Amino acid sequence: MLNDILSEGIPILTIEEAVLQGGFGSSVLEYLHDKKASHIKVERMGIPDQFIEHGSVDALLEEIGLTKAHVAETLRDLLPAAPRKGIGS
């Protein structure tokens, strides 16, 4: 699947409710690096490597920017550069 994305030049957004360092997004970046695909725009969303205060899940997700609204905003910022066609079209 990532090879299809590489050939289409589609931006990638990874989202994880886990620490960013060493996570899924890092694996995607490593794969892109190995494929010499620096032309692919990548945004990662996840938990930063820092102390997070105690609170409700919703409050903590808001604090670190992992809400539906933040994801939608990140996608809007990322997608204008995306091709109009889908993968495999």
Question: What pLDDT, on a 0 to 100 scale, did the predictor assign at position 2?
Answer: 84
Three-class DSSP category at 86: coil
Span 2-81 CATH architecture? 3-Layer(aba) Sandwich (3.40)
Q: Cα(first)–Cα(last) distance of the chain, in Å?
A: 14
pLDDT category at 72 given cuts 50, 70, 90 is very high
Where does residue 88 fall: left (phi above 0), alpha (psi -120 to 50 degrees), or beta otherwise? left
Instruction: With a cut of 80, say whether residue 6 has pLDDT above it.
Output: yes
Q: Which is more confidently placed, 51 or 16?
A: 16
Per residue in 24-71, pLDDT (tens digit) is: 999 999 999 999 998 899 999 999 988 877 889 999 999 999 999 999
Beta bridge partners of 44: 14
The domain locations on the chain are 2-81
The torsion of the CA quartet 77, 78, 82, 85, rounded to 10 degrees, works out to -90
Q: In terms of Cα–Cα distance, which of 46, 41, 37 is closest to 16?
A: 46
